[in-house]
Structure 1
Amino acid sequence: MVDKPAPDATRRSEKSRRAIYAAALALVAEVGYPKTTVEAIAARAGVGKQTIYRWWSSKADVLLEAFLDLAGQTAQAAGQEPYTIPDTGDLAADLKAVLRATVDELCDPRFEAPARALTAEGVVNEQVGREFVTKLLEPQLQLYVARLRSAQDTGDVRADVDPRIALELFVSPLAQRWLQRTAPISYAYTDTLVDYALYGLAPR
């Protein structure tokens, strides 16, 4: 009798995790956050509900982790390191590069639909909004803070500038235009935001 190799629990767990990520993001995009349930995610992923609760405490945790994973995959597909801002010594070029990558991400249908659903829910659901900011948004904004502080160290940004406020000069307009669909977002748009933020509006 030939001994069969034992099932690889690691591979099985990773396959289930990926299926759960995909199911959660698809559901929230299709039916919205309120109608997305752990039971529905489990059914769509083909796993038991207890599997989800073994790894996450709530559907919000599942969705936020799935979101972070998707963002990382999007960055890697574009040949970039996820959750980093380059420091080449050219602040304008570095900011333009990361904002162009953000445009790609926001225009990707896989990312856009669940992002809009979670953002909308965060406006009316304080807990979801707080987790969205704490786990997803703020860590990304702190990368801009670190890059701007590095630029202060080299004299490329004034020492008295508050990096946390300064980053909003280019991040916030992009977010507002994307959320409200007041106009298309593009590389040209984000490049211009960086130029205006770094060089001002007054004649040079």
Structure 2
Amino acid sequence: MTTPPPKAPDAARRSQASRRAILTAAFDLAGELGYTKLSIEAIAARAGVGKQTIYRWWPGKGAVLFDAFLMLSEGDGTAGGEPAGLPDTGDLAADLKTVLRATASEFADPRIAEPMRALTVEVATDPQLAAQYAERLDEPVRELKRRRLRAARQAGQLAEDVDLDLVIDLVWGPLLNRWLLRTGPLTPAYTDALVDSALRGLGPG
């Protein structure tokens, strides 16, 4: 009886594991070292891969860090998932307060905040990365927000002619601005007041 030859390693599975290791390393190192000290060499060493493996998939550290955030939002490294939708209890104000409090908590976490600041700078200075950010992360997340706001508008909790993108900017914009410029604390009282102030001018009538 002839013994069958051993099966070759699953190249696709190995490749996916390497990508996940690279993205995890990039995210962790950005929080530990800061973006200016982050390097492809450091990411490769932490992930246990060669530099050329990283350059085969990404042009530079900014692109790696962006995909690391996609992995974080999607729950894996395949970029095939979808961020979780906003809560819908029927009470728009309560739901938005829940979301903004959670967002403020993330902004207060150095492990998340420092890589996020670095990515924000890269997006502001790299048009190609900015286009990817808009298409692959910002727009899908905005659509989830629009979906929740459409339900609120249909329930009569928002004015019928309200611009949903404007609502998003009014609710989330000040929080992002305060965090990015470090102009004040991101307390639950602040996020709750932000929601109340925004909705006060956007309700029916």
For the superposition of Structure 1 and Structure 2, which TM-score range results when normalised by the shorter chain? 0.7 to 0.9
Normalised TM-score (structure 2): 0.78
1:181, CA displacement in angstroms?
Answer: 0.5
SS of the counterpart of 2:144? Answer: helix
**Distance change in 2, residues 1:69/1:145 (3 Å):** same
SS of the counterpart of 2:160? Answer: coil
RMSD of Structure 2 on Structure 1 (CA): 2.9
Residue 126 of structure 1 is matched in structure 2 by 127
Superposed CA deviations along residues 25-50 of structure 1, whole A, max 9, x for unmatched, are 234342426x6444442222111234
**Distance change in 2, residues 1:68/1:127 (3 Å):** same
Q: Distance in 2 between matches of 1:124 and 1:54?
A: 23
Residue 78 of structure 2 is matched in structure 1 by none
Structure 2 runs not aligned, ≥5 long: 1-5, 76-81
**Distance change in 2, residues 1:178/1:115 (3 Å):** same
Deviates more, 1:37-46 or 1:93-102: 37-46
Residue correspondence of structure 1 range 16-55 to structure 2 within 5 A: 16-29=18-31, 30-32=33-35, 36-53=38-55, 55=57
Structure 1 runs not aligned, ≥5 long: 74-80
Superposed CA deviations along residues 122-158 of structure 1, whole A, max 9, x for unmatched, are 2222222332233222221221111111111121111
Amino acid at match of 2:28: A
1:176, CA displacement in angstroms?
Answer: 0.3
**Distance change in 2, residues 1:48/1:119 (3 Å):** same
1:145, 1:163 within 8 Å by CA — same for their partners in 2?
yes
The percent identity for this pair of structures is: 54
Q: Distance in 1 between matches of 2:112 and 2:66?
A: 12
Normalised TM-score (structure 1): 0.78
Number of matched residues? 192
